[in-house]
Structure 1
Amino acid sequence: MTIQTPDELGGLRRAGALVAGILSTMRDQTIAGVTPRALDAIGAAMLREAGAQSAPVLTYGFPAATCISVNRVVAHGIPDETPLCDGDLVNIDVSAELDGFFADTGASFVVGTASAAQQRLLDTTREARDAAIAQLRAGGMLNSIGRTIETVAARRGFQVIRDLQSHGVGRALHEEPGSIPGYYDRRDTRRLHAGMVITVEPFLATHSTRTDALDDGWSLVCPKGVGAQFEHTVVVTHDAPIIVT
């Protein structure tokens, strides 16, 4: 969507604060022995209490309130009853509709203490997200997002997962300007404009540039190695972008 009024920005901020709070609470509860299903129940309860709806359920009929991906599963993982263990690489993605506004956020982290290799992947993915957001300005090129992400990833020795991309958001979970690659596409001539609402969500991996789908119809895995994601919902302006999550 394109934000046109202060009321619209306020509505988006409220949706963003909700999903950010849910993600933070779920992350705090992610310890060895807890199951992804139990974590999802926490998120579902917080959505109900706020009068919000899970965006993946509302939009696609996803079989859980949130996406929780573990180890080789990098996106769209279905929360199950398998207890988490120290050293597991977990991604939680929370998106919701609140009073007609959609916001989307996600983060990867390790249960317990991360290994040095895991921490490098996490730090680089977060750096790529933050660097891509920092350079957003109305009038700039949309493909500057992918260019920045790809530059950070290459400098640190990681690969961009090319079939998982950022996207427009706001009045729906996925909307204009459509998919936004996490790699540089010189053919993409779209420009950013003031008020544009998008996610910025790099997916970086140790040894994969594409994902494979599991038989459950949702979970996407790295064929080799592991991946990570960090995501914010952002409003583009002529000055510094507004992060609502």
Structure 2
Amino acid sequence: MKIDAKGMHYKELNKIIRSAANNGEQEFDLLNVNGQRYIGDGIDKKIKINIYGTPGNDLAMFMNGPTIIVHANGQDGIGNTMNAGEVIVHGDAGDVIGYGMRGGKIYIKGDVGYRVGIHMKSYKKQVPVIIAGGTAGDFYGEYMAGGIMILLNLNKKNPYVGDYVGTGMHGGVIYIRGKVEEHQLGKEVSVLELDQNDEKELRKHLKDYCKHFDFNIEEIMSEKFIKLLPLSHRPYGNLYAY
């Protein structure tokens, strides 16, 4: 189903998508998207949404199953509390990607902004994944409680990650391709070498990522990664009375 979103209010656009999905429509091509918010939010059907243009904030919030492909840049709040599905962005994305995300996958071809993965969590088989091919701003992985984050720096920028990496982190794992200076790290994380299980885990996720963006996985894996893990599952426990 093709929808020309030029000049369309976000409420009208989302109403059309929801109604068509409830009536059995499986695939949508959204044309001339320009800042419309909340696309795909809360939808629990395995539909596919192609977005041509730049969607607004909170794309795929509470999403539970769809695949969304953005053929341009994304904005802030992609995958807010997302539960399942995929978001693939063929450009850059903004701040607070994957806030409270508890499942599904977000693949960004380019750079991401600040506080990516904040409060990300996992539960049993629900393990969210965020992969960015470029750089990231400050507070990458802040208060992360679970899941997997991977930063690739394929565009070779320097610095490629901001300060306070992993601040408040108490679960999950962060893989970064390249070196991070000690002063860039939050006090709650440790830096470790990869083992065979890490290599296997990276390849599993990067295989899908590379397929979407036509990258060479062997070239990516040829450079050294580091692993960040939390030092404690309760880093601020001493601040509480219990």
Q: Give the alignment's TM-score, normalised by structure 1.
A: 0.27
Bigger helix share? 1
TM-score, normalising length: structure 2: 0.28
